Amino acid sequence: MSITREPYGKLPDGREVEKFTLTNANGVRLCVTNYGGLLLSLEVPDRDGKTADVLLGKKGLRGYVAGHPYFGAITGRVAGRITGAKFTLDGVTYPLDKNDNDNCLHGGLDGFDKQVWEPTALEEDGASVLQLHYLDQDGHNGFPGNLDCTVTYRLTDDNALVIDYACTTDKATPLAVTNHAYFNLRGEDNGNILGHEFQILGDRYAVADAEMTLTGEVRSVEGQPNDLRQPVILRDRIAGIHKKHGDNYFFPEGRTAEPRLVARVREPESGRVMECLTTEPGVQFYSSAMIEDEVTTGKHGVYRLHAGFCLETQPCPEGVNKPDALGDIILRPGQNFTSRTIYRFSAGA
């Protein structure tokens, strides 16, 4: 195990940003920056032991600052869309940034992804550890309460990336924090993810409208094209998934005390497998359906349609406006929010 730190560059306002490299006993290597908690790269082996970077991203800090679709970012306070960019809590209406048509997307214009987090590098419990801390001020992006947030990345010797979240607040506030990593198990510069085999164990999903905001209706996946409870090749189902984009799935157990397996993705050519385990009640599956419109420049060229996939473990963002249907996402003073998500990698036949 090892963890190293080095300068990653300066932001336009002069603040310095660092890059951290975590390496496990098997040579799996994870690079992270404390700017937005961005996961910069993750090199994992295929069935023949050949490593590839399975995370989409940009070439350097300047590329991230110029704008990107939340590659590998800590995303919050509320990841996803809040309809109408407002919510009412305890009788008070809070207007938010309209950064996605009339909606608030991924916490607003200056969300968690654009903050410089305070880093602490550790080695503990058989893992390389990077702990990131940020205090989101009361009223920032329109959200109430001083939200104290710590996100911890661990790279373990069983080739698992473990992400822990811990948050407290001094005022009631909505919270649905996640990581927005884009994965491609072929390698980030090696085509699309339509040949990947997906299994997502959600038994229900939240219905979305044409703008991808959630209507409040929840349906069973039974008999639907987005039923991924049994392994399927994505290209065989993508046409039936909402706008070829993805869906917000609910798991039968709801939120759990310990992580349990909720999704498994296999790439047949390389043999790479990624298992996703989480304590969260749901996951937003995203197929990079918007990348084609952005003509997004990546690390080694331009990313095209369906260049990567996201498994954003979280509750429904629109739960702030429709808690009875989609689940309550309010964190209140005196409560300690904790969550764990694990992305575990292996390779087989």
Q: For residue range 229-242, what is the model confidence (pLDDT) as tens digits?
A: 999 999 999 998 99
- Catalytic: 269? no
> CB-side exposure of 283: number of CA atoms within 13 Å?
30
State the Cα–Cα distance between residues 267 and 249, nearest whole angstrom.
22
Name the residue with higher pLDDT: 201 or 212.
Answer: 201
- Tell me which DSSP letter residue 181 carries: -
Residue 155's DSSP bridge partners are 128, 161
Any idea which residue has 């109430």 for tokens?
144
Residue 140 is among the residues annotated as catalytic for this protein: no
Q: Are 82 and 175 in contact (CB under 8 A)?
A: no
Other CB atoms within 10 A of residue 300 CB: 12
Q: What is the DSSP string of 47-77?
A: TTS-EEE-B---SSHHHHHH--S-TT-EE-S
Kindly provide the b/e burial profile for residues 67-84, where b requires at least 16 CB atoms within 10 angstroms of the residue's own CB: ebbbbbbbbbbbbbbbbe
- Token representation of residue 342: 């694990």
- Residues of the chain with pLDDT > 90, as a percent, come to 92
pLDDT, mean of residues 154-163: 96
Q: Would you state the pLDDT for residue 125?
A: 76
Q: Return phi, psi of residue 33, to 5°.
A: -120, 150
Reference 16, options 84, 96, 124, 116; nearest CA is 116
Give per-residue pLDDT as tens, 282-307: 999 999 998 876 678 999 989 999 99
Percent of the chain with pLDDT over 70: 99
- Single-letter amino acid code for the residue at 93: T
Residue with tokens 């654009």: 114
Look at the block and give the residue holding tokens 């080095």.
6
Task: Check residue 105 and give its pLDDT.
Answer: 97
- The answer on pLDDT for 349 being more than 80 is no
Reference 154, options 27, 344, 7; nearest CA is 344
Amino acid at position 322, single letter: K
263-278, pLDDT tens digit by residue? 999 999 999 999 999 9
Q: What is the dihedral of CA 316, 322, 327, 330, to 10 degrees?
A: 90
Instruction: Pinpoint the alpha helices (H) of 54-113.
Output: 61-66
The residue behind tokens 């419990």 is 125
Q: What is the pLDDT of residues 248-266, one digit of tens each?
A: 999 999 999 999 999 999 9
| Cis check: omega of the bond before 77, within 30 degrees of 0 | yes
State the pLDDT at residue 25: 93
Catalytic residue among 180, 196, 280, 318: 180
Domain 2-347 fold:
Beta-galactosidase; Chain A, domain 5 (2.70.98)
pLDDT at 253: 95
| Torsion angles phi and psi, residue 326, rounded to 5 | -115, -5
Instruction: Report the pLDDT averaged over residues 332-336.
Output: 98
Q: Which residues are bridge partners to 312 per DSSP? A: 284
pTM over 0.75: yes
CA 210 – CA 212 distance, rounded (Å): 5
Q: Are 331 and 173 in contact (CB under 8 A)?
A: yes
How many CB atoms are located within 10 Å of the residue 226 CB? Answer: 18
Q: How far apart are CA 134 and CA 115, in angstroms?
A: 8
